[in-house]
Amino acid sequence: MPSSGLMHRIVNRVAPKSWPDFVVKWLLFELAINLVNLTVERLVRPEAGFDPTSQILVTVIVSTPFLVFALAVMSHQYRLQCRLANLAATDLLTGLSNRGDFLERASMASVAGQGGALLLVDADHFKRINDTYGHAIGDLCLQAIAGRMRKLVRSGDIVGRFGGEEFAVFLPKATPDMARAVGERICEGVKIPVPKEGTEVQITLSVGATPVRAADSIEKMLTLADAALYRAKEMGRARIEFASIEGRAVF
Q: Do residues 175 and 249 touch, judged by C-beta distance below 8 A? A: no
Rg (CA), the chain: 28
Q: Do residues 89 and 97 touch, judged by C-beta distance below 8 A? A: yes
| Rounded-to-integer distance, Cα 186 and Cα 239, Å | 9
Pick the catalytic residue from 165, 197, 200, 241: 165
User: Is 241 marked active-site?
Assistant: no
Residues 6+ apart with CB under 8 A from 61: none
Residue (of 176, 166, 235, 171) closest to 205 by Cα position: 166
Residue (of 235, 250, 87, 102) closest to 166 by Cα position: 102
Kindly list the catalytic residues. Answer: 165
